[in-house]
Structure 1
Amino acid sequence: MALTTSAHNKTKAWFQGMIAYGTYTIGSTVTQMPIYSLTLTGDVITLEFYLAETVAGTITKFQVIDKDGAVWDDQPDSVVKPALNGLLITFKYTLTRV
C-alpha cells in the first residue's frame, strides 16, 4: 500500500521541521552554520547554508544536523575557501512516493 497524498505532504513537512543547522570542518575545528534557506518545491527540499567571506581555509566536511543533535547528512569534501568570497552550500533531497 502506498502513502496517501496527505501522508506524503506531512512527511515532507516533518523533514523540513527536523533540520536544525549545518556544520563545516576546517582542520580539526567543527563550526556551526545557520540555515540560510529551506525551501520545498514539489517533492524537492532544498537546504542552503552560507559561509561569509570571513571564513577561510580548506573545508573537509559538511554536515546537516537535526533537532536532536544527530548527523542527518555527512558529506566529505575538499573545498579551498579564500577569504575573498562567500560560499553557498546546497543540499537537495527528493521525497517520492513509490
Structure 2
Amino acid sequence: MALTSGTHTKMKNWLQNLISHGTYQIGSTTTTMPIQSITQVGDVITVQFYLADSVSGTITRFQVIDRDGEVFDDQPDSIVKPALNGLLVTFKYTISRV
C-alpha cells in the first residue's frame, strides 16, 4: 500500500517542524547553531545553519538536533574555518513516495 499524497505532504511538514537547531564541535566544545532557513522544493527539505565570521578553528562534527533534544543527523567532518568568512552549513533530506 502506497502513501497518499496527503500523508506524503504531512511527512514533509513533520520533518520541517521536527528540527530545533544544530550544533558544531571545535575541539571538545560543542556550540549551538540556530537555524538560518528551512525550505522545501518538491520532495527535498533543505536545512541551513550559518556560522559567523567570528567562529574559527577546526570543526570536527555537525549535528542536527530535533525538538526533543535528540540528535537527528550526525556528520563527522574536518573543516578548518578561519575567522575571515562566515560558513553556511547545509543538510538536505528527500522524502519521496516509492
User: Does the alignment reach a TM-score above 0.5?
Assistant: yes
1:68 Cα offset (Å): 0.2
Q: Partner amino acid for 2:36?
A: Y
1:8-64: CA deviations, max 9, x gaps?
Answer: 000000000000000000000000000000000000000000000000000000000
Unaligned runs of 5+ in 2: none
For normalisation by structure 1, the TM-score amounts to 0.99
State how many pairs are aligned.
98
RMSD: 0.3
For normalisation by structure 2, the TM-score amounts to 0.99
1:3 Cα offset (Å): 0.2
**Identity over the aligned pairs, expressed in percent?**
68
State whether structure 2 residue 30 is matched by structure 1 residue 24. no
Aligned-partner Cα distance in 2 for 1:14–1:47: 13
- Taking the TM superposition and a 5 Å limit, the aligned residue runs for 1:8-47 are 8-47=8-47
Give every structure 1 segment of 4 or more consecutive aligned residues whose post-TM-superposition deviation is greater than 4 Å. none
1:59-90: CA deviations, max 9, x gaps?
Answer: 00000000000000000000000000000000
Unaligned runs of 5+ in 1: none
Secondary structure of 2:40's counterpart equals strand
